Chain A
Amino acid sequence: MAWIQPRSVAEAVELLQQRRARVVCGGTDLFVGGPARPLAPEQEDWLDVRRIPELCGARRTEEGLEIGAAVTAAQLWEEETYRALPALQQAAKIVGGWQIQNRASLGGNVANASPAADMVVPLMAYRAKVRLAGASGERRMALQDFIRGPRMTALQEGELIVSLIVPERMLGTAQVFLRHDQRAATDISIVSVALAAAVAGGEIAWASAAVGAAAARAYTLSEEEEQLWRGRLDAKAMARLGALYAARSAPITDVRAGEDYRRSLVDTYIQRAARTVLGQ
């Protein structure tokens, strides 16, 4: 087992073609799977992406804000750069505890594809894109298409996540991330909701929301259905939205919560998110 630290995306891609290596960043999911998910076999190498400068920061582009895959949760909520993304900051601040936040990366949260992932939910609401690099060059795809199900992604053999791109129109909108959990800190989401909305004069021009932990993967409505967010949402409109998102959920019953309870929480938290961005 070797621990490899490439210094560029090109070098990383080349190493991934040469050796059987597993991409790792903070290791907060990979190293603590417990008996259910044992560590990789010893002959497998680890490819640590934290020394690749391109993955460790963010940059503004014409498209919006491009965030490197190795940016940590702590960086997200601490650094000025991400002020335009308060929902992502709130999600980053609730992931695990401080020690976890210092290691856990945005790219890792996406690659792990847990249905209960926190930072994935605002990214979904942002309609973020994933930038990937592999032997045949770069490609990008919508996050919605990249995460295919619980612990399943469209990442191909020899590929790594370079960055997440948040569209320009999302920056600086009114945003919120809400999570229902069992205790007040260091917990795993039972249901979570992220909302980004263009609000002016108590009225919503457009909005995009995503729901986490209530289906095999975080989900949004179609852009057509999202028209329902427009306007001055009265109680009835909010209830309609809550019910619609709840109807689209497909929660499971597990040790943390029952299916019907999770569905009801989707309704509750969509409405709470709406009231929050409207300042109610």
Chain B
Amino acid sequence: MKTQLSKSPADLQAKLEGQTRYVHDMRLPGQLVGKILRSPHPHARIVRLDVSRARAIKGVVAVLTGEDVPHHTYGPTKFKDWNILARDRVLFIGDEIAAVAAETDAAAKQAIAAIEVEYEELPGVFDPEEAMQPGAPVLHETIAGDNRPMRIALERGDVERHKQEAAVVKSGRYRSNRIYQGHLEPIGAIASWSDEEGITIWAPSHIPYRARETYAAGFGLPEDKVRIVVPPIGGSFGSKYVLKVHVIAAALAMAARRPVKIIMDRYEDMVTAHPRVPLTFDLEIGADREGNLLYKDVVVYADAGARVYWSPNVIATACTRPDNIYRFQSAKSEGHLCYTNNSPTTCMRGFGNAEMLFAVESVIDEIALELGMDPAELRLRNIVRPGERTIHGYRLDTCLLEECIDKVKAISGWERRADLPPYRGMGIALANHVSGFRAIDPRFDGSTAVLRLKGDGSLELETGEIELGQGMSLSYARIAAQVLGVPEGSILVKSGDTGRYPFGIGTLASRSTVMGGNAAKLAAEALQRRLVSLACEVLGKGASLEDGRIRYGEETYPLSEAAAWHRARHAGEELTVRETYVPDTEMPDATYYGHPSPNYPFAAHVAEVEVDPDTGRTRVVGYWAVHDSGTIIHETMAKGQVYGAVAQGIGWVTMEDLIVEQGRVKNPSMMDYRMPGARDIPNIEIAFLEGEDPNGPLGAKSLGEVALDPVPGAIANAIAHATGKRGYELPLSAERVWRAIHST
């Protein structure tokens, strides 16, 4: 049946053949080229801004400054510190001052160059701890006079008492770094304006509904006067959420009354990048003599950069989520989110959990070393188990963490660890994650799917979630196909248009499989009921749906006939069902206690490395990843998630670093920002331990982020095992490892 339908625009084959059309490939009639003038200073007052020469250039249609755009209070989180264009002060290198729309690229460039700006440079602050000091330059007076928009303080159990009781205490200052998400497709957007429909933006965003709400607030428009259409996304990993480029393209389109396209080149993309939030952890963990973990105590400093993107959610995750892997008897977290004059930082796969786990898993290995215990054994002794409620309230209906550890030991040959040659090492690390997070939007959670029977008997499934290339569409098609007994290829999954498809909270927090998948399942079940009742109405009692066909007695009918029956009775309207899944979760309270996700995936990874002691260069020579993600819906795509995550983690730990000094990116090119290539990635062995989770569609839990979460810890532990030196700061580049080996 209709196998060609499975070729959605995001289909792998289309990408390989160059058929996929990204926003860069789109061209609207009358479209103009948009460009942005950005601050060259990390902190400065705009003394004079003159765009008259730019406006006079032939081919220039619109030139906007902070004087020409609205200044509503808005932003993607509750810390509303965004503008459209700067009016009097710029806060980071890349901060937007003016924008131009012109007929040609050359005219737009010329206009940008013709804008005259005089700055009075102001002292900047670039380190979160310095930003909190009295006398530091204040970035947003009305939001945080102390540069600290968010502070977290939570304690469960009696940490002070456990500090007295602990026999072994290990601690250290760990740092995770700025990671450029490394999306192949640079940031870009096309915007248009009409008086009837308002703003339409074509932009790769995987939270388009939140983007719509944010941008509407920025222009003082009702939410439904902004429509976001999402073309195929050429990689995001967290970089393509809510972006100023989208807003500025819209402002230009409103001024020019013509569509405006802004596409950044790699240089602009990297100079203004919103990388992974860099975090500093002062972490201490204590255990008793038998190796029972007693407490965890951490202070986290996060560099939000000059405006708040998604850093609050990242630091909140870092301060809580990893605690839910172990049976800590008490835990205390203090978090400080600070403004600096660096480019705003945001989320990336792992979202604070991977970062904190790097520190936690490192310290747990240090405890094992001091106790003379096998690191895997120490973990087995302390992990959470199915049926438990974790320290912060997560209800674990399923948890195969113990089995994950056993399995990863078996497939990696963990017993070899004791007899490895010099400078070879093996490390283990664990991870958990969520499948959607209740506090992402405090107002609601869940997902809606619309399922429609087409005249030819094929199906269309509409969702508010977003395909990122991760295989969401394939998963939803498979879920609905299994319920209805139809071929997967007969279901076309459609998403990515806030004006057409159901509301979606967004593809973040590893939520798409469980949230949207449950909605797809509910819709398929509803359609099945509707089809059966329709068949009974038309054919008589006892009609049923079997293997994707209507059965009545000995006769069977294809779904195209059922489609015709329905249309005949409903003025030609197609048979459509709409179902909403609302998860049975508990919103975390003010102390971050709650049950925020329908289920929780787990993983145990082992890395094996070889370190060259003369150069410090690490080669990852073996990697084993064992996952409890419940039922695996699409094994090929699931493995793709794990391969990609491990490769991303290898890059993160051994080489990647967006170097920023005094607010300036020092390596804004793919030549100087090194990411791993195929030859840096070893054979990766993956095992899925499939248990059915009662809350997941067909028993599934999430996978996208939990696949990256343990990688930094596993490799860091392997390097420490190989060299006898603990690495505290990511990346553990060759030079850093060399310095550690040669330090006394």
Contact = CB atoms under 8 A, between A and B. Distances in A.
A188 B674 CA distance: 10
Interface in B658-716: 659, 666-667, 669, 671-672, 674-680
Interface stretch (A135-143, A176-184, A229-237): A176-184
A186 interface: yes
Helix, strand, loop or mixed for chain B's interface? loop
A35 B677 CA distance: 25
A176 to B, nearest CB: 16
Interface string B715-744: 000000000000000000111001100100
B674 A180 contact: no
A196 interface: no
B557 interface: no
Contacts of B667: 255
Contacts of B738: 261, 264
Given A183-B655, A185-B679, A258 B267 contact: no
A62 to B, nearest CB: 42
Interface in B10-36: none
Contacts of A257: 735
A182 B733 contact: yes
A268 to B, nearest CB: 4
B267 A255 contact: no
B617 interface: yes
B76 to A, nearest CB: 30
Contacts of A265: 615
B666 A184 contact: no
Interface residues of A, number: 18
A34 B738 CA distance: 32
A44 interface: no
A180 B267 CA distance: 26
Contacts of A183: 655, 674-677, 679-680
B109 to A, nearest CB: 12
Nearest to A272: B614
A182 B677 contact: no
A256 interface: yes
Interface in A87-135: none
A187 interface: yes
Helix, strand, loop or mixed for chain A's interface? loop
Contact of A185 (B619, B677, B734, B739): B677
B671 A188 contact: yes
Interface string B314-335: 0000000000000000000000
Contact of A184 (B669, B677, B733, B734): B677
A268 B677 contact: no
A182 B659 contact: no
B674 A182 contact: yes
A187 B671 CA distance: 8
Contacts of A188: 671
B614 A268 contact: yes
A92 to B, nearest CB: 18
Contacts of B614: 264, 268
Nearest to A187: B674
A35 B267 CA distance: 8
Contacts of B619: 184
Nearest to B655: A182
Contacts of A255: 659, 666-667, 672
A188 B655 CA distance: 13
A184 B680 contact: yes
A262 to B, nearest CB: 9
B677 A186 contact: yes
A272 to B, nearest CB: 8
A186 B655 CA distance: 14
Interface string A204-241: 00000000000000000000000000000000000000
Contacts of B676: 183-184
A184 B676 CA distance: 8
B655 A256 contact: no
A34 B270 CA distance: 13
Contacts of B617: 180
B113 to A, nearest CB: 13
Of residues B672, B678, B735, which shows the largest number of chain A Cβ atoms within 10 Å of its Cβ? B735
A180 B680 CA distance: 14
Contacts of A258: 735
Nearest to A271: B614
Nearest to B657: A255
A186 B676 CA distance: 10
A34 B667 CA distance: 12
Contacts of B655: 182-183
A264 B742 CA distance: 11
Interface pairs A-B: 8 shortest CB-CB: A184-B679, A268-B614, A255-B667, A182-B674, A185-B679, A261-B735, A184-B680, A255-B666
9 contacts: A34-B669, A183-B679, A184-B676, A184-B679, A186-B677, A255-B659, A255-B672, A261-B739, A264-B738
Given A184-B619, A255-B666, 18 more contacts: A35-B267, A180-B734, A182-B733, A183-B655, A183-B675, A183-B679, A184-B676, A184-B680, A185-B678, A185-B679, A185-B680, A187-B674, A256-B672, A258-B735, A261-B735, A261-B738, A264-B614, A264-B738
